Amino acid sequence: MYSKITGTGSYLPEKILTNQDLENMVETSDDWIRTRTGITQRHIARDDQVASDLALYASQNAMKAAGISNKDIDLIIVATTTPDMIFPSTACILQNKLGIENCPAFDVQAVCSGFVYALATADMFVSSGKCRNALVVGTEIYSKIIDWNDRSTCVLFGDGAGAVILSQSNAPGILSTHLHASGSYSNVLSAPGSISGGKVQGDPYISMEGSTVFKFAVKVLEEVVQEAVSQNNLQAADIDWLVPHQANIRIIQSTAKKLGIPMDKVVVAVDKHGNTSAASIPLALDIAVRDGRIHPGQLVLLEGVGGGFTWGAVLLRW
């Protein structure tokens, strides 16, 4: 038994915040943002929207693409750093909104690597025969944990959701998964606030040592891609499409260069979405599937790195 992605979906909030808009909010410029990050705009959720709302639309789009209904879903895993509430899980809230009864539903928190972690977990359920169709979602509303006066972070992030349906298959889909973490870097990229008495104590906003994150990300992303292709007796040149975490165009370009993968084989969406954390990989994947770039038989490599640090990759045959 194997697991295979049979449908993809995504959702972006209607509001678009451009670099020009940010020029009126904080001391920055469109040129500075584009040159250093590749970002030109990002989507921002409404005040009344929560992560499960975004996930709902992405999930419905993925189920439609897979040709299945809510009754066919027997596992839900949601990757998010910005859950609706402390508990219940965003996955349980999403389950209710989808009208799905009595299937396992839980969240995964691995920040920007969250979708890779969630997909790897779902693969173990599906390929072992424990479930038939898993709904795997990455959904984030980072606009609620951004200090909009901090120009070093507020220009980077956006909101959105992406989802896939992972189904049982007689032919190989996911070929291998590779997950890593190193908690010794936990202070490098974090949102250090804590919850006490129902209130946020300390600083609830994103804190980041940009240069350290950049160097670490490029290093481990190259390593985990090499790990994935080596385990499958392949080379990086055999990859048809690299779908990276959409954090920063410089990280994406540097990783591709180290791997010897041309940029025309890399799916890039960071310019229109910004960094949507756990949502960024499924968002980019959905775009490339729907515009026809990714088609059956191709080798696709998903990879991401996030606070923790966490990092990982999933190699699959489309």
DSSP, res 25: T
Amino acid (one-letter) located at 176: S
Tell me the catalytic residues. 112, 245, 275
Question: Rounded CA gap, 271 and 251, in Å?
Answer: 13
Q: In 10 A of CB 134, how many CB atoms?
A: 27
Altogether, the residues listed in the chain come to a count of 318
* Reported pTM: 0.96
pLDDT of residue 256: 96
Nearest to 239, CA basis, from 252, 251, 225: 225
What pLDDT score was predicted for residue 193? 81
Name all domains of the chain by residue range, CATH numbers in brackets: 2-170 (3.40.47.10), 175-317 (3.40.47.10)
For residue 187, which of 44, 309, 28, 17 has the smallest C-alpha distance?
A: 309
What are the per-10-residue average pLDDT scores of the chain (318 residues)?
97 98 96 96 96 98 98 98 94 98 96 98 97 98 93 95 98 97 92 71 84 93 97 97 97 96 97 97 98 97 96 98
Q: What is the pLDDT of residue 219?
A: 96
Residue 195: the pLDDT is: 62
Look at residue 192 in the predicted model and tell me its pLDDT: 86
